[in-house]
Structure formats: structure tokens, C-alpha cells
Structure 1
Amino acid sequence: MSTLFSACNEQKNALTFDTIKVDAPFDMPTIQIPNFNNCEQFSIVNFGAVKGDKDKNALAIASAISEAHKIGGGTVVIPEGEWITKKLHFKSNVNLHLSKGAVLLFSGEPEDYLPAVHTTWEGMECYNYSPLIYAYECKNIAITGEGQLEADMSTWEKWFPRPKAHMNSLKHLYNLSAKNSLVEERQMVNDSANLRPQFIQFNRSEHILLEGVTIKNSPFWTIHPYLSKDVVIRNVNVYAHGHNNDGVDPEMSQNMLIEDCVFDQGDDAIAVKSGRNQDAWRLDTPTKNVVIRNSIIKNGHQLLAIGSELSGGVENVYMDNCEVLDGAKLGHLVFIKTNERRGGYVKNIHVKNIKCGKIDLGVLGIQTDVLYQWRDLVPTYETRLTPISDIYLENFDTKDVKFITNIQGQEAEPVKNIHLKNISCKSVEEDKHMHQNLIGFSDTK
């Protein structure tokens, strides 16, 4: 249950704020988001937008954003119809509103996302192609409406494979990050790196609302709040079945509410992260106070994933009343993954009232040696293990699973305090519980 308080401000064309109080099994701060109901609207048509002309449309959107920002708060309106564009960069106090029937189609040409911006790739900061929608150090921003954001995948899908040249670029970035080089030195736009941009990245921003829109396709992670605070994602429908197409990736972000959404993903539905290795240790910002509720998952690798980029720490995550539809290709309902390079920590994770059909693996997986292609690609420069503790799962109704829990802690850093209550599975194919290096486990009705 949440309570909404609207700031009282009758002044015409004024930006106001809504404060949302969210119930959670931890001390959840109130979240403040912008309310643009009393703000002036700016149709992109009045700034020269023409259907089918991405250059004019990109310029019109940028001009409308600047005008809304200049007056201290305004709504940029995308009218009905399809509007192809290039990158979109937010400024503070701006709402991007997609009218019913509007499609904002983002070009598939990489050069439309240059010059490179300060962004990230899988937990490492760098300069790369701009996210399709990018907010950097912005306050009071929103994306609203009943329209659709869509990515033209004609080039990005060709970049899904990871050839040797791409892996060499990743290796180079990893080494730069491990040596704490200046982020400005990590220039990753070249013919061989092909690091795909995120669709939406809120970078070092605060007071953010994403509500009502449909998002179709994504070059990389779909919605990426990064080093951001006070974020509400509500009534959003996401369909993205490309490589690394997570739904939402909160990373080193705090005070978030994700509710009433539908996720149809090629990767994890919700992937909670907090940076990788030395970069995250430098930034020293955990992801905390994240509530996810009342959402439907049609497909995805995991319902809730934590890691493997979790070096800044993850705490106070609460998922409630979510459903995985029958036929979804899902591995785990909750999956926590890390390795000897990550450090960080995971604690105080609560997941309850989950319903799902048959899934490929199990209810809870915790793996502490997940390195994928990185195992042999680059060395371990510094070993930091990840303390994982205080995980609470309650009221799960599932059909067929291979196991209920598979928890593989490390001898030097055992997993601690896993509590299951009322976990119902129609059938369990293998052992119910497979544990190694675990201290404190309960499974009760």
C-alpha cells in the first residue's frame, strides 16, 4: 500500500511534486517525484518536427526540451503517429509525454548516438554511444503517456555476437577500470568495440517518473537508473528480446518503486546491480530501498536477479505480489550471483506472494563463482568476497521446478540466514535443497 500526497500549488504553469510513501519490511524513505499537470505543453510539431525526418525531429525535440527547461518546468508532447529520431538528451524539469497512438522510433544508426557520453558498460564507467534516452545530472524529469518508445534494431542486432575484437575491447575496458584510470580515458567508440547503448539511462539524476508508456526492443539494458535517487516506474510495458535485454537495472540507485508493470524480456526482468569491482569500490554507493510489486512477467531469465555487478552493495529490496505467466522461459524466481572479484554485499532481501508456472530451475539460486566469459579473459587483480545474508522468501505458489533452493556459498564467506515460509511447489524434480557453505536456514509452513 502506498499513500500519495500532492503538493499544494495553484499557480498556473507551475511544476509541483508528489510524495509517495511505500510500505516495506524496512525503513523505506518517502519518494518525491515531479507532477507536470500544471505545466505548459510544447508540441514538437511547433518546433519543426516532420514525420519521417529524423534530423528535423531530433532538433525539434531538443528545442522543445530546452524551452520547457528554460521556463522551469514543461511537457514536451509527441503527437499521434510515428516520429523517427536520433538520441534524446533530457534537461531538468522536463516531462516527455507520448500521446496515445504516438511512436517515438529511435534510429538504428550508431552515428546518431555520438558524440560519446559518460555512461557505463556492465558496471564499468566509460565513454560510449549515448543511450537512446539519456539524462545526466538532471532533476525532476518524467516520461509519461500511452504511446510507445521503440528502437530500430537493424544495426544493434548485428552487434549481439561477441567476436574476438569485441572481447578485446571489453578486456581493455576491464583493465582500465581495474587500474582506476580516468573515465575520460576510457573511450570505447571504435569499429571493434561495438558496445551497444542502453535504451533509457537516468545517470546521476533524481526525482524521476516513468509511467504509462510501452517500450519495444532495446540495444542493451532497457531501463537503467544509475547513481540516481527517487525513481518511480509505473504501468510500463516492456517487450525486448535481444541480447542483454534486462527490463530494469537499478544500479547504485536508491529509493525506487517499480509497480504495475509487464515485462517480456530476453534477459532478467528485474536485475538489481551496484557496479563492478574497482569502479564500484571507488564510487562507494550501494543500491538500496527498492520496492517491486504488482507486476507480471511473460518471459525472462530470472524474475529477480541480484548481481553479478554488485560491488557497491545491495540492501533493502522488497518484491511483492508478482506473477510469472505459464509458458515463460525462466531460470529462477530469485537468483543472486557474484564471484571472487566483486566484493560488495547482499542483505535484507524480501520476496513474497509470488505465483508462477513451470520454470527451468528453481525458486532460489545463490551462486558465488559466476564469471561467464570473464573467467579466462582477464585475471583477478584483487580478491574480495561477497557477504550474503538475510534473505526472506514467503508465500510462493509454483508448479514444476528442479529444486527449491540451490545455495553455493564459499568456505571463507558462507551465505547466512536464509528463511523460507510457505513455499509451495507442485513437483520438485531433483533434491529440494542443495546447499554448500550455508549458515542458518529455515523452511517452514
Structure 2
Amino acid sequence: MQLYCFLPSQQVSISGQGKLQAKLDVWQVWYKRPKPHMDALANLYHMAAKDVPVEQRQMTYEGANLRPHFVQFNPCQHVLIEGIQIQDSPFWVLHPFLCKDVVIRDVKVQAHGHNNDGVDPEMTQNMLIENCVFDQGDDAIAIKAGRNQDAWRLNTPTKNLVMRNCLIKRAHQLVAVGSELSGGIENVLVENCRFEDGTQYSVGTGNIVLIKTNERRGGYVKNIIIRNIKAGAVKGGALSIETDVLYQWKDLVPTYERRLTQISDIYLSDIHLNQADFICNIEGQAEMPVKNVQLANVTADQLTKDAISNVNVEGFEFA
């Protein structure tokens, strides 16, 4: 396995016709979640919540089994990833973290392991993803902004992100927002992308857009524009918003501080699905409803459920 990790830099590039590949058999033994691993996750969560200095959060002991990201850029500026192929990954595949001015162009990612998102921008600003092909075991792109206390302290949103002209062969979602979004996510444009029929796979396509958070995240999501998307059969819909997504954390650790997420100004237009469960499913919270959602010319040839199923939404338009 080749693992690339860059220290803070003003200019970084990976380009050419090369191929990066991780050997999944090395990491598959870590996919299981025995008690020592779950204890390690809980331990890290407690340390972050209690503001233990980062250098003291040592997680390399036997049994912790915290898989690394494959290609990660730590605070860098002027990052270019172009014309390469990436196959498999221990965890997230491409992870720009606290970066600025990032371009990912003409990249092919094929990664069918556990948590193998294609690109995970986190607290990263001014980013372009174009002309890429994604074939994932998780989301094609998962937009992040840090988790809970650490992200509130850093106070750095992910913003000004454009994704265009991409092909998604397989993924849970074309675009996932969260659930780590405590620093805030804003100004996202995704356009001119195509999603192939995902139902032929054991892990099929979920949604075009999934925004997910929970009562511990805080942060905000606003100004999300998704347009001109064509998809085959999906197992979800065009837009799903869930505000109570806690996964294994629900019973593993307590809520140290409750902060709800502000979600507003979500716009979808010119999206067509061959087959889906629904068009839009929003599960907002009564204390903080989702606001200002517009769907224009969002259609499906066949639906298995009601087209629209929303709770706790203010300012919803479907035309």
C-alpha cells in the first residue's frame, strides 16, 4: 500500500498517468468492530469532547484499529490532483483537510472497501472536482466540516465547492453532506453529472443528495445547488435530509453538548431518475425546521413510495 500524507504546503500536485492502489486484504481484518475497537472510538470521542490536546490523543495501541485515509492533504494551498487512477483504500480515498484552492480533475477512483468515499473535502474552501469517474463502496463525494467540539473550536466552514461533468458508476450517494458538518457547509454547486443504475449491485445507489446530521453536530448547511443530473434506478430519491443520524455513536457515547444544525436554501433542478423510492424525503426537527427548499423539474419515471414526504419544513416548493 502507498500512503501519501502532506504536511502544510503552499503548492502540491499529483498528476500524470500513475495509479495508486491499496491492498484491501491488509485492512479487511480491521472492518469488524470488536469491543477493543469500539472502546477506542469512545475513548477518542471523550478526549475530543473534553478538549484533550491533540498530541495526547494517542490511538496507535493494539486493538484500536482506526483505519487511515489513503491520500490526505493537511493544511495545504494550491492542490492539484489530475489524470491518475486510484484503487481501493483503507478508509476515505481523497481527503483534503483544511485546504484552499483544490482541483481534482480527470481522476478515476474505484474503491469498494468499507467507508470508501471517493472525495471527502473537510473544512476546505475553493475546490473544483471535474471530469472524474467514481465507482465507490460508499459515497462518491462526502462533504465534511469537522465534528463537534473540535470543529467548533477551529470554526472553519467548507465552502465554495463545484463538482461538474462526473460519472458515478456506483456509490451510496452522489453527494453526501455530513454527518460531520459542525464547522458549517455553504456554497456548493453540483451539475452535469450522471449516475448509472445502482440497483444491480449488492450496495446500490441511495440518493442524489443526502444531508445528514444529529443533535450533537451544530453547524449549518446552506446554499446547496444541484442541477442537470441524470440517474438510472436508485434506492432512495433525489433529495433526502435526515437530522437524527447517529450510527454506532447513539448508544456508545453520551451527548456532551446539544446543538442543532441549521439547514436552509437547498435547490434542485433538472434532475431525472429512471426509478426511485421517492423524489424528496425531509425529516426536519420541530425546534429547528429545514427552510427554503426548492425542487424544479425533478422527475422520476417510476416511484415505489409517495413522491414527497416531509416533516418540519418551512418554505418548500415543488414544481
Fold equivalence (TM over 0.5): yes
Query: SS of the counterpart of 1:158?
Result: helix
Among candidates 283, 286, 290, match of residue 157 of structure 2: 286
Among candidates 118, 126, 145, match of residue 255 of structure 1: 126
Among candidates 140, 145, 153, match of residue 16 of structure 2: 145
Cα distance in 1 for partners of 2:236, 2:102 equals 32
Cα distance in 2 for partners of 1:373, 1:208 equals 34
Q: Does 1:403 align with 2:281?
A: no
Among candidates 162, 172, 182, match of residue 53 of structure 2: 182
Q: Does 1:266 align with 2:152?
A: no
Deviation at 1:327, TM superposition (A): 3.5
Deviation at 1:227, TM superposition (A): 0.4
Q: How do 1:199-238 and structure 2 match up within 5 A? A: 199-238=70-109
Cα distance in 2 for partners of 1:147, 1:286 equals 32
In structure 2, relative to structure 1, the CA distance for the partners of 1:327 and 1:370 (3 Å cut) is closer
Tell me the alpha carbon deviations over residues 107-150 of structure 1, each in whole angstroms, 9 at most, x when there is no partner: xxxxxxxxxxxxxxxxxxxxxxxxx1101211211000112111
Cα distance in 2 for partners of 1:217, 1:372 equals 23
Among candidates 283, 290, 294, match of residue 419 of structure 1: 294
Q: Does 1:433 align with 2:308?
A: yes
Match of 1:135 in 2: 6
**Sequence identity, in percent?**
58
Residue type of the partner of 2:298?
I
* Structure 1 outlier segments of 4+, above 3 Å: none
Tell me the alpha carbon deviations over residues 56-105 of structure 1, each in whole angstroms, 9 at most, x when there is no partner: xxxxxxxxxxxxxxxxxxxxxxxxxxxxxxxxxxxxxxxxxxxxxxxxx5
Deviation at 1:154, TM superposition (A): 2.5
Query: SS of the counterpart of 1:371?
Result: coil
Instruction: Report if the CA contact (8 A) 2:186-2:221 is conserved.
Output: yes
Query: SS of the counterpart of 2:42?
Result: helix
Of the structure 1 ranges 339-348 and 396-405, higher mean CA displacement relative to structure 2 is found in 396-405
Structure 2 unaligned segments of length 5 or more: list them: none
Query: SS of the counterpart of 1:210?
Result: strand
Cα distance in 2 for partners of 1:327, 1:164 equals 34
Cα distance in 2 for partners of 1:151, 1:361 equals 30
Match of 1:381 in 2: 256
Deviation at 1:224, TM superposition (A): 0.2
Among candidates 368, 379, 390, match of residue 243 of structure 2: 368
Higher relative contact order structure (alpha carbons within 8 Å, sequence separation ≥ 6): 2
Cα distance in 2 for partners of 1:135, 1:192 equals 26
Match of 1:343 in 2: 218
Q: Given the two structures, how large is their TM-score scaled by the length of structure 2?
A: 0.98
Deviation at 1:158, TM superposition (A): 1.0
Match of 2:205 in 1: 330
Number of residue pairs aligned between Structure 1 and Structure 2 = 315
Among candidates 93, 109, 113, match of residue 242 of structure 1: 113
Of the structure 1 ranges 389-398 and 150-159, higher mean CA displacement relative to structure 2 is found in 150-159
Instruction: Report if the CA contact (8 A) 2:144-2:180 is conserved.
Output: yes
Tell me the alpha carbon deviations over residues 154-194 of structure 1, each in whole angstroms, 9 at most, x when there is no partner: 22111111111101000000000001110001011011111
Match of 1:352 in 2: 227
Residue type of the partner of 2:198?
G
Cα distance in 1 for partners of 2:24, 2:310 equals 42
Among candidates 284, 299, 303, match of residue 170 of structure 2: 299
Cα distance in 1 for partners of 2:110, 2:65 equals 23
Query: SS of the counterpart of 2:24?
Result: coil
Greater C-alpha radius of gyration: 1
Residue type of the partner of 1:380?
T
Match of 1:55 in 2: none
